Amino acid sequence: MREKDIYARARKTMVETQLIPRGIKDRRVISAMLKVPRHLFVDEALRAQAYSDYPLPIGEGQTISQPFMVAFMTEALKLEGTEKVLEIGTGSGYQTAILAELAEMVYSVERIPSIADRARKTLDSLGYSNIAIRIGDGTLGWEEFAPFDAILVTAGAPDIPPPYMEQLAEGGRLVIPVGGEFVQELVRLTKKKERIVRENLGGCRFVKLIGRYGWQED
């Protein structure tokens, strides 16, 4: 079997054993998870593990999130295809690619330059033209392109950074892990006419969101 087909088969197994049994339903999310070549977002030595049910190291003490967590957070954003999305914590760029499959435009901020550069290269090589990546402190959001229909934060914050609610469009969804340094609660905030609806989606474990409205650098 060709390498490409082996990985396509691994993606199908990932969807059938890790995502659907745990409740992922959005057809578009499932299609994106079947399509995006996750193995190209990790080091060559880790490719065989790319579709396994856990996060993997991507260097600089950071990780590519577990496939289920990527699918779960993406589904929580309720994307239909026309959205402008802000992502904080580009990391490998894998989640960025999934968002780019499901929204009109993705703006992604990463604080570590070497990580951002690698993600940019991977995403360019795959031909994505609806992604903009900026190096900087993502706890400030990306004011220039606000408001956003959806904001996804893929690092854990002690509290909700205030710029996110300001940069969220009316009706927009913010999904963010909030809590301690080691475990957090995945929270969805929806901006609805003068009020904010808050839902807890479950426990999770992310690396730290480091910046002005996040954790201080070690």
The catalytic position among 52, 65, 108, 125 is 65
Shortest distance in whole angstroms from residue 195 CB to ligand SAH: 27
40 CB neighbour count, 10 Å cutoff? 18
* CB 23, CB 39: distance < 8 Å: no
Q: Which CB, 163 or 172, lies closer to ligand SAH? A: 163
- Residue 50: CA count within 13 A, CB half-sphere: 23
Q: Which CB, 78 or 134, lies closer to ligand SAH? A: 134
Cα–Cα distance for residue pair 85/105, rounded to 1 Å: 6
Q: Which CB, 61 or 203, lies closer to ligand SAH? A: 61
Residue with nearest beta carbon to ligand SAH: 91
Q: Which CB, 105 or 115, lies closer to ligand SAH? A: 115
Helix, coil or strand: residue 78: coil
* CB 32, CB 101: distance < 8 Å: yes
Whether 65 is catalytic is yes
Cα–Cα distance for residue pair 1/20, rounded to 1 Å: 26
* CB 178, CB 185: distance < 8 Å: yes
Residues within the interface to ligand SAH (CB under 6 A)? 58, 62-65, 88-89, 91-92, 94-95, 109-112, 115, 137-139, 154-155, 207, 209-211, 214
Shortest distance in whole angstroms from residue 13 CB to ligand SAH: 20
Cα–Cα distance for residue pair 167/186, rounded to 1 Å: 19
Shortest distance in whole angstroms from residue 152 CB to ligand SAH: 8
Shortest distance in whole angstroms from residue 26 CB to ligand SAH: 18
User: Catalytic residues, which ones?
Assistant: 65
